[in-house]
Amino acid sequence: MTGAEVKQRIVKDSKGEKQNGIKEEKKQKYWEPLTDGVKWIEKYGENLENFFERLPEFISTFIATLAIFTFGATLRGEWVVILVTALKQLTGQTQNTTNATAILELFSSRNLKMENFSMFFIGAHAVSLSTYFLIGGFLHWYFYMNRRHRAKEWKIQPDKWLSPELERHEVMVGTISLLIVGSFSAFLACYIYNGNPSTVYFQFDEYGWLWFFLQFPVIFLYADYTTYILHRLYHTPWLYKHFHKLHHKYKQPTAFSVTAIHPFEILHVQLTSCLPLFTIPVHWLSFYSVAIYVYYHGIIDHSGINFKAQWWQPWQPDAEFHDQHHEFFHCNFGFNMSLWDKLHGTMRKQNRAYTEDTYHGEAPSIDSPEGKAILAENPDLIESKVLQEEIPEVIQNIKTSKTEVETNKTK
């Protein structure tokens, strides 16, 4: 056998071994929808990374921001309601009955028209779920993978990360909740499309231009304050332990955490936010403009990324505000305004030892014996970046004491 033939035989054998190895690996490894679905982008991460390295920083940041906005605009299925109401206005189909008696009669009879519901149902879920995984996966790659080594530049809790198990858990819970709220959005879109009674109107000046512009802040204040009330309600001991505690498994939230809420709770919030559609004259554009704004900031607030409010948003707290809610639990209940926490005394106070067992926005002083005991018993608080900046001496003393105790035990 010549040298060339030997070389060819070796190459052929190595290829055969490699293929057999791949086949065996495929046999042993089964497909995990959640794990593989979230981390699909890792397979193509190198190409994306090369692409983004060639872009100026402001362009790549703009793309990430646009992705977050798209994520918020389509996430819970409300995009299909917006599309339906926009089409009704453009085509002049604005004959919705707005009489309250008509609404009551509708649900007490068999006149509910829900034609083409399956089309709305499939469309709402297809877009919201694909957005959740594709854009959510992109954001996960863009920040949590590609910039992990620079976490101190962008991450609110730079030294703390969710475990892989919790990442899979938040995606699983988030997907289930998406299916539920997406189904409601599909029902609402089909309901409006078929001309069933509501208080939605379509002509801009139907109730006067003053009310058209005034309803933007009215709807925003309604949505934000009712969400604050519901959020605080779910932080009372019984409701927290049976419902909201699920959402607080994620002490370092990510964009996937935004819908990782107990299905009962997230549907409760969505139903409350939609009440104006059946109680007051509301133009579809103002209602869904506020809804998209709220969803967008919901993702920002759960991203774990140190996003700052823009100059034109004096009411909007930075993302760190809600991130501290996840870190310290029963405080900072507001979302798009910190005003409600200031009014009701539930803002996180400095030099206080907050834990999962200190309810109602209250916590003992860190200088008190109870506060020091809480700090000593909670490693997460000792490692908190916020507390290390606020009370460095106290934290250092506790660390020193713990080290001395452990040293004595080893002796």
pLDDT digits (tens, 9 = 90+) for 239-263: 999 999 999 999 999 989 999 999 9
Cβ(315)–Cβ(336) below 8 Å: yes
- Give the chain's length: 411
Cα gap 131→297, rounded to integer Å: 16
The mean-pLDDT minimum among 284-298, 314-328, 356-370, 394-408 falls in 394-408
Instruction: State pLDDT tens for residues 52-87.
Output: 666 676 676 677 667 666 666 566 566 566 667 766
The CB density around residue 216, as the number of other CB atoms within 10 Å, is 16
237-242 long-range Cβ contacts below 8 angstroms, 24+ apart = 237/359, 240/330, 240/359
pLDDT of the residue at 299: 87
Mean pLDDT value across residues 345-354 = 91
The model's pLDDT over 181-212, given as tens digits with 9 standing for 90+, comes to 889 888 888 888 888 888 888 889 999 999 99
Q: How far apart are the first and last CA of the chain?
A: 70
Residue type for position 290: V
When pLDDT is cut at 50, 70 and 90, the band that residue 409 belongs to is low
Taking each continuous run of H as one helix and of E as one strand, the counts in the chain are 19, 2
Domain ranges of the chain: 41-209+250-322, 349-404
Structure tokens at 43: 């397979």
Q: What is the pLDDT of residue 45?
A: 54
Phi, psi of 251 (to 5 degrees): -75, -20
- Average pLDDT score over the chain: 80
Where does residue 72 rank: exposed (0-12), middle (13-18), buried (19+ CB within 10 A)? buried
Predicted structure pTM score: 0.78
Share of the chain above pLDDT 90, in %: 38
DSSP three-state, residue 110: coil
Select the more confidently predicted residue: 343 or 123: 343
